[in-house]
Homo-oligomer: A and B are copies of this chain.
Amino acid sequence: MTETLTPENRERLKTVSAATLTTALFKRGLSNTFIQNVQRLSPTGGNMVGEAYTLRYIPAREDVDLLEGFTDPEHPQRKAVENCPAGHVLVIDSRKDARAASAGGILVTRLMKRGVAGIVTDGGLRDAPEIAGLEIPAYHQRPSAPTNLTLHHACDIDVPIGCGDVPVYPRDIVVGDPEGVVVIPAHMANEVAEEAFEMTAFEDFVTEEVRKGATTVGLYPATKDETRVKYAAWRKANAR
Protein backbone atom coordinates (compact mmCIF):
# COMPACT_ATOMS: atom_id res chain seq x y z
CA MET A 1 0.00 0.00 0.00
CA THR A 2 2.75 2.41 0.96
CA GLU A 3 4.36 3.82 -2.03
CA THR A 4 7.91 5.11 -2.25
CA LEU A 5 8.64 8.50 -3.69
CA THR A 6 10.73 7.91 -6.78
CA PRO A 7 14.07 9.73 -7.10
CA GLU A 8 12.69 11.55 -10.17
CA ASN A 9 9.72 12.81 -8.22
CA ARG A 10 11.86 13.81 -5.28
CA GLU A 11 13.81 15.98 -7.72
CA ARG A 12 10.58 17.33 -9.21
CA LEU A 13 9.38 18.37 -5.76
CA LYS A 14 12.50 20.49 -5.42
CA THR A 15 11.35 22.59 -8.35
CA VAL A 16 7.68 23.27 -7.58
CA SER A 17 6.12 25.72 -5.18
CA ALA A 18 4.07 25.12 -2.05
CA ALA A 19 1.24 27.03 -3.74
CA THR A 20 1.17 24.71 -6.74
CA LEU A 21 1.24 21.65 -4.50
CA THR A 22 -1.75 22.83 -2.47
CA THR A 23 -3.73 23.16 -5.69
CA ALA A 24 -2.72 19.68 -6.85
CA LEU A 25 -3.84 18.35 -3.48
CA PHE A 26 -7.10 20.33 -3.60
CA LYS A 27 -7.87 18.60 -6.91
CA ARG A 28 -7.65 15.32 -4.96
CA GLY A 29 -10.08 16.55 -2.31
CA LEU A 30 -7.56 17.68 0.30
CA SER A 31 -7.94 21.26 1.42
CA ASN A 32 -5.89 21.34 4.63
CA THR A 33 -2.29 20.56 3.71
CA PHE A 34 -0.42 23.82 4.29
CA ILE A 35 1.11 24.13 7.77
CA GLN A 36 -0.38 27.33 9.13
CA ASN A 37 1.59 30.16 10.63
CA VAL A 38 5.16 28.98 10.21
CA GLN A 39 7.92 30.80 8.39
CA ARG A 40 11.32 29.82 7.08
CA LEU A 41 14.19 31.19 9.13
CA SER A 42 16.44 31.70 6.13
CA PRO A 43 14.34 32.75 3.16
CA THR A 44 17.00 31.78 0.65
CA GLY A 45 17.98 28.31 -0.51
CA GLY A 46 16.12 25.62 -2.35
CA ASN A 47 13.13 23.52 -1.44
CA MET A 48 13.12 21.19 1.54
CA VAL A 49 11.87 17.72 0.52
CA GLY A 50 11.73 14.64 2.71
CA GLU A 51 9.71 12.05 4.56
CA ALA A 52 8.13 13.14 7.82
CA TYR A 53 9.69 11.93 11.06
CA THR A 54 7.73 13.29 13.99
CA LEU A 55 8.19 14.41 17.58
CA ARG A 56 5.22 15.07 19.83
CA TYR A 57 5.26 17.47 22.77
CA ILE A 58 2.64 17.70 25.52
CA PRO A 59 2.56 20.42 28.18
CA ALA A 60 5.43 20.24 30.70
CA ARG A 61 5.04 19.39 34.39
CA GLU A 62 7.48 20.76 36.93
CA ASP A 63 8.25 17.43 38.63
CA VAL A 64 8.87 15.61 35.35
CA ASP A 65 10.58 18.15 33.13
CA LEU A 66 13.91 18.86 34.77
CA LEU A 67 17.22 19.87 33.25
CA GLU A 68 18.62 16.54 34.36
CA GLY A 69 16.33 14.82 31.89
CA PHE A 70 18.64 15.78 29.06
CA THR A 71 21.37 13.50 30.45
CA ASP A 72 19.22 10.56 29.39
CA PRO A 73 20.01 9.52 25.80
CA GLU A 74 16.46 8.17 25.65
CA HIS A 75 15.01 11.65 26.15
CA PRO A 76 12.64 11.81 23.17
CA GLN A 77 13.79 15.21 21.92
CA ARG A 78 17.45 14.15 21.91
CA LYS A 79 16.59 10.73 20.53
CA ALA A 80 14.63 12.31 17.69
CA VAL A 81 17.63 14.44 16.81
CA GLU A 82 19.99 11.46 16.78
CA ASN A 83 17.56 9.06 15.07
CA CYS A 84 15.69 11.05 12.45
CA PRO A 85 16.87 9.37 9.23
CA ALA A 86 18.98 11.30 6.75
CA GLY A 87 16.78 12.76 4.02
CA HIS A 88 13.78 12.95 6.34
CA VAL A 89 12.22 16.07 7.82
CA LEU A 90 11.78 16.35 11.58
CA VAL A 91 8.26 17.68 12.15
CA ILE A 92 7.37 18.73 15.71
CA ASP A 93 3.93 19.10 17.25
CA SER A 94 4.42 21.94 19.73
CA ARG A 95 0.68 22.58 20.10
CA LYS A 96 1.19 25.87 18.23
CA ASP A 97 2.74 27.27 21.41
CA ALA A 98 5.86 29.36 20.77
CA ARG A 99 6.31 30.62 24.32
CA ALA A 100 9.21 28.17 24.76
CA ALA A 101 11.59 26.60 22.26
CA SER A 102 10.98 23.36 20.40
CA ALA A 103 14.72 23.00 19.72
CA GLY A 104 17.86 25.15 19.45
CA GLY A 105 21.02 25.84 17.51
CA ILE A 106 23.10 22.89 18.66
CA LEU A 107 20.41 20.32 17.93
CA VAL A 108 19.59 21.80 14.54
CA THR A 109 23.29 21.80 13.70
CA ARG A 110 23.40 18.12 14.62
CA LEU A 111 20.42 17.44 12.34
CA MET A 112 22.21 19.24 9.51
CA LYS A 113 25.37 17.23 10.03
CA ARG A 114 23.37 13.99 10.06
CA GLY A 115 21.92 14.81 6.63
CA VAL A 116 18.41 15.46 7.81
CA ALA A 117 16.46 17.39 5.14
CA GLY A 118 14.90 20.00 7.44
CA ILE A 119 13.02 20.80 10.62
CA VAL A 120 9.51 22.17 11.13
CA THR A 121 7.80 23.16 14.36
CA ASP A 122 4.54 24.98 14.95
CA GLY A 123 6.19 26.50 18.02
CA GLY A 124 9.45 28.45 18.14
CA LEU A 125 13.14 27.74 17.77
CA ARG A 126 15.77 29.23 20.07
CA ASP A 127 19.08 30.52 18.72
CA ALA A 128 17.02 31.46 15.68
CA PRO A 129 19.59 33.95 14.30
CA GLU A 130 22.22 31.20 14.35
CA ILE A 131 19.88 28.62 12.81
CA ALA A 132 19.04 31.08 10.04
CA GLY A 133 22.67 30.81 8.96
CA LEU A 134 22.82 27.01 8.83
CA GLU A 135 22.53 25.02 5.64
CA ILE A 136 19.36 23.25 6.62
CA PRO A 137 15.85 24.58 6.05
CA ALA A 138 14.10 25.35 9.33
CA TYR A 139 10.51 26.55 9.83
CA HIS A 140 8.89 27.87 12.99
CA GLN A 141 6.30 30.34 14.22
CA ARG A 142 8.66 32.86 15.81
CA PRO A 143 11.98 32.94 17.69
CA SER A 144 11.66 31.69 21.26
CA ALA A 145 14.60 31.72 23.65
CA PRO A 146 13.26 29.76 26.67
CA THR A 147 14.31 26.14 27.07
CA ASN A 148 11.57 23.70 26.06
CA LEU A 149 11.32 22.41 29.64
CA THR A 150 9.43 25.48 30.75
CA LEU A 151 6.47 24.54 28.58
CA HIS A 152 6.97 21.39 26.55
CA HIS A 153 7.43 17.73 27.47
CA ALA A 154 8.90 15.58 24.69
CA CYS A 155 6.58 12.60 24.69
CA ASP A 156 6.58 10.48 21.53
CA ILE A 157 8.59 9.84 18.40
CA ASP A 158 7.24 8.95 14.98
CA VAL A 159 3.53 8.92 15.69
CA PRO A 160 0.86 10.80 13.72
CA ILE A 161 0.69 14.41 14.91
CA GLY A 162 -0.85 17.75 14.14
CA CYS A 163 1.49 20.54 13.12
CA GLY A 164 0.10 24.00 12.41
CA ASP A 165 -3.41 22.48 12.25
CA VAL A 166 -2.38 19.98 9.55
CA PRO A 167 -2.28 16.19 10.07
CA VAL A 168 1.20 14.71 9.62
CA TYR A 169 1.67 10.96 9.41
CA PRO A 170 5.16 9.44 9.56
CA ARG A 171 6.46 9.02 6.02
CA ASP A 172 4.20 11.68 4.50
CA ILE A 173 6.22 13.81 2.09
CA VAL A 174 6.99 17.24 3.47
CA VAL A 175 7.90 20.00 1.02
CA GLY A 176 8.97 23.48 2.07
CA ASP A 177 9.70 26.47 -0.13
CA PRO A 178 10.36 30.08 0.92
CA GLU A 179 6.61 30.54 1.38
CA GLY A 180 5.92 27.63 3.71
CA VAL A 181 5.42 23.91 4.15
CA VAL A 182 3.04 21.44 2.49
CA VAL A 183 2.35 17.91 3.69
CA ILE A 184 1.59 15.34 0.96
CA PRO A 185 0.02 12.04 2.02
CA ALA A 186 2.51 9.27 1.27
CA HIS A 187 0.12 7.32 -0.96
CA MET A 188 -0.33 10.16 -3.44
CA ALA A 189 3.13 11.72 -3.35
CA ASN A 190 4.24 10.46 -6.77
CA GLU A 191 1.15 11.54 -8.64
CA VAL A 192 1.08 14.90 -6.89
CA ALA A 193 4.75 15.46 -7.73
CA GLU A 194 4.07 14.70 -11.37
CA GLU A 195 1.02 16.88 -11.63
CA ALA A 196 2.63 19.78 -9.80
CA PHE A 197 5.61 19.54 -12.13
CA GLU A 198 3.31 19.78 -15.15
CA MET A 199 1.35 22.63 -13.58
CA THR A 200 4.55 24.51 -12.93
CA ALA A 201 5.49 24.46 -16.59
CA PHE A 202 2.10 25.89 -17.49
CA GLU A 203 2.28 28.54 -14.77
CA ASP A 204 5.73 29.59 -16.00
CA PHE A 205 4.27 29.98 -19.48
CA VAL A 206 1.34 32.00 -18.15
CA THR A 207 3.65 34.22 -16.13
CA GLU A 208 5.70 34.96 -19.23
CA GLU A 209 2.56 35.81 -21.20
CA VAL A 210 1.21 38.06 -18.46
CA ARG A 211 4.55 39.80 -18.18
CA LYS A 212 4.30 40.48 -21.91
CA GLY A 213 0.92 42.10 -21.33
CA ALA A 214 -1.60 39.31 -21.93
CA THR A 215 -4.96 39.33 -20.19
CA THR A 216 -5.67 36.43 -17.85
CA VAL A 217 -9.02 35.82 -19.54
CA GLY A 218 -8.80 32.64 -21.59
CA LEU A 219 -5.19 32.18 -20.54
CA TYR A 220 -5.43 31.27 -16.88
CA PRO A 221 -7.15 28.88 -16.87
CA ALA A 222 -6.56 28.02 -20.52
CA THR A 223 -10.09 28.14 -21.87
CA LYS A 224 -9.11 29.37 -25.33
CA ASP A 225 -7.79 26.99 -27.98
CA GLU A 226 -5.29 29.63 -28.92
CA THR A 227 -3.78 29.42 -25.45
CA ARG A 228 -3.37 25.69 -25.70
CA VAL A 229 -1.67 25.94 -29.08
CA LYS A 230 0.65 28.67 -27.86
CA TYR A 231 1.52 26.66 -24.76
CA ALA A 232 2.35 23.57 -26.81
CA ALA A 233 4.75 25.66 -28.89
CA TRP A 234 6.27 27.21 -25.77
CA ARG A 235 6.91 23.81 -24.22
CA LYS A 236 8.68 22.62 -27.34
CA ALA A 237 10.73 25.81 -27.60
CA ASN A 238 11.69 25.72 -23.95
CA ALA A 239 12.13 21.97 -23.70
CA ARG A 240 9.69 21.74 -20.82
A206 to B144, CA, bound (A): 21
The answer on a CB contact under 8 Å between B58 and A146 is: no
What is the total number of copies of this protein in its complex?
6
Flag if A145 contacts B34 (CB, 8 Å): yes
Given A19-B101, A37-B142, do A147 and B62 touch, yes or no (CB 8 Å)?
no
Cβ of A85 < 8 Å from any Cβ of B? no
Does A149 sit at the interface, judged by CB under 8 A?
A: yes
Query: Which one of A3-11, A23-31, A232-240 is at the B interface?
Result: A23-31
Proximity bits, A47-65, B CB within 8 Å = 1, else 0: 0000000000011111110
Cα distance, A182 to B74, chains bound together (Å): 30
Q: Are B179 and A129 in contact (CB under 8 A)?
A: yes
Give every chain B residue within 8 A of A147 (Cβ-Cβ): 19, 22-23, 26
Residues of B near A127 (CB, < 8 A) are 17, 19, 179
Q: Which of B29, B61, B106, B180 contacts A145 (CB 8 A)?
A: B180
Contacts of A206 in B (CB 8 A): 106
Closest to A207 in B: B106
Chain B residues lying within 8 Å of A171, measured Cβ to Cβ, are none
The residues of B that contact A156 with a CB separation of less than 8 Å are: 159
A223, closest chain B residue (CB): B71
Instruction: Compute how far the CA of A209 lies from the CA of B160 in the bound complex, rounded to whole angstroms.
Output: 33
Tell me how far the C-beta of A83 lies from the nearest C-beta in chain B, rounded to whole angstroms: 11
Bound CA span A34–B128, Å: 14
A185 CB within 8 Å of chain B: yes
Question: Which residue numbers of A lie inside 8 Å of B, CB to CB?
Answer: 17-19, 21-23, 26-34, 36-37, 39, 43, 58-64, 67, 70-71, 73, 78, 81-82, 95, 99, 101, 104-107, 109-110, 113, 126-129, 142-147, 149-150, 153, 155-156, 159-162, 165-168, 177-180, 182, 185, 203, 206-207, 210-211, 213, 215-218, 220-221, 223
